[in-house]
Amino acid sequence: MKVILGIDNGTQSTKTMFYDAETKKVLAMASAKHDMIAEDDGSREQKAEWWINALLECLNQVDPDIRSAVQAVGVSGQQHGFVAIDDSGKPLYKVKLWCDTSTAGECDEMTQSYGGGEKLLSEVGNLIAPGYTASKILWLKKTYGDLYEKMRWVLLPHDYLNFWLTGEAVMEYGDASGTGLLNVRERVWQEDLIRSLDSGLLDKLPRLIGPDETAGRITAEAAAITGLPEGIPVSSGGGDNMMGALGTGTVSDGVITMSMGTSGTLYGYSDKPIIDPEGILAAFCSSSGGWLPLLCTMNCTVATELTRELFGLDVKEIDAAGARAPAGAEGVSILPFFNGERVPNLPNGKASIMGLNTTNYTKENLSRASLESAVYGMKIGLDRFRELGFDVREIRMIGGGAKSPIWRQMAADVLGVPVLIPEQAEAAALGAALQAYWMLEGGGAARLQNIINEHVSLDESESCVPDLELRAAYDEGYARYRSWLDALAPLYS
């Protein structure tokens, strides 16, 4: 056996996958939930210690013999979260998450201080968007200056787990690009931007490493607690989207991955930097040696979950209710900005239900509109990919939405391309395991492509092709969605 452990630290839970790279089989999987602290000001926070407790809960569910056979570890983590630790490795404050919009003012402050959005795109490659790590750092400095002064390292969630396992503070290009502080073209820290935030901050940012490098090795202390072998290597790891790209095979041109969970993401591989002058697509690096232009919406399954709870439905029942309504939901549109929004850039946005009248105000139409709203948000990104020259041949769909037959077909119909479903639903955990296996085998671009070809497979029985007869109805529905968005966005800007 060649057992590799993939760890996925998500917003809602931590998951572990023990993968045998020789037999291409998952030997064991486990998960443990996380809580979240949510405030009316847009704050969305967790405690780093919850992640450690969740990881240990996962590991303790697995046979000790499997744990002791692990040869390498890879970690995927939710992007953008800010973990500030002191010299002893202790977190100094709660972790402000990717979906935290309370630092929108700090985004504006940093943007203006640097010279504006055009300069950021031109010199850095990304805007300072709500949710990115950069504004969270400034927020801590302004709000808790005493804690900020004690900070030794700025870490992202996956970096913190790497640090806890190895004692090493490093950061990989893909996840680092989501801080807003990385020059994504050159893959180096943007020093003038960092100094505009704090002249001493550069020394608190970890050493940057490549995606096939080793972040460190399991310490004796971590081995004793986890049951993993002391001294085995931990790969660089990456953000959940970067690891999801590996786990779905999005490592070559023409393939797009769409993840539909609490957030919605749409990303594609590029062998060169893609800088979107409109800032709709983030110009991230990949964790496979290239770049990963990406759309992220903060509200994807949020509308369906809240609608489901409102009507007392389970997941299958809301799908069934939505299926009873026609495409376009008889004119009902939902702008699902319950948590504010990142794209479109409305950190103070609110959700709205539009187009109601006495005949279309039904449970079925509201259910369908909640499903359609998530896909319409993805269409904003897919249209932008095409405008920037991407030849999108297929979409590989993961996340909770991929489990829904109506959502899969709806995505194919609205977006106009085939939707394929990977056999392994936990793409980020698999991607983390495959990256660790890649590191263990010596790295290199050619070897990664071979690994992807051998270990990523698709479930043809669940794939969907566009229904051309429904295209007109969805085009009308999307046009209504955009018209409502254009009308209401000024209220929240």
What are the pLDDT digits (tens) for 70-105? 999 999 999 999 999 999 999 999 999 999 999 999
173 phi, psi to nearest 5 deg: -55, -45
pTM of the model: 0.92
In the block, tokens 């240990």 appear at: 56
Output the pLDDT for position 23: 97
Low-confidence ranges of the chain (pLDDT < 50): none
3-9 and 70-77 beta bridge pairing: parallel
Is there a common fold for 3-240 and 241-421+463-493?
yes
Active site residue 35: no
pLDDT at 130: 85
Beta bridge partners of 458: 422
* For the chain, domain boundaries: 3-240, 241-421+463-493
CATH of 3-240, one of 2.30.30.30, 3.90.226.10, 2.40.50.140, 3.30.420.40: 3.30.420.40
Q: Who contacts 268 (Cβ-Cβ below 8 Å, separation ≥6)?
A: 250, 253, 254, 255, 256, 257, 292, 293, 385, 390, 392
- Exposed / middle / buried, residue 458 (Cβ in 10 Å: 0-12, 13-18, 19+): middle
358: which DSSP letter? Answer: T
Cα–Cα distance, 280 to 201 (Å, whole number): 28
Any alpha helices (H) in 144-190, and if so which ranges?
145-150, 157-166, 173-176
Which of these is catalytic: 159, 212, 240, 276? 240
CA–CA dist 493, 490 (Å, integer): 5
Q: Where are the beta strands (DSSP E) in 47-101?
A: 70-77, 83-85, 95-96
Amino acid, res. 454: E
d(CA 442, CA 66): 24
Q: Which two tokens stand for residue 36?
A: 């979240």
Q: Which helix (H) or strand (E) holds 9?
A: strand 3-9
- Give pLDDT, residue 77: 98
Q: Give the H or E element holding residue 257.
A: strand 255-260
SS3 91: strand
Half-sphere exposure of 333 (CA within 13 A, CB side): 21
Give the C-alpha separation, 400 to 402, whole Å.
5
pLDDT, residue 184, reads 97
Q: Which CATH superfamily is domain 241-421+463-493 in?
A: ATPase, nucleotide binding domain (3.30.420.40)
Cα 16 to the center of its chain, rounded Å: 17
Question: What pLDDT digit, counting tens, does each position of 315-331 carry?
Answer: 999 999 999 999 999 99
Q: Are 285 and 292 in contact (CB under 8 A)?
A: yes
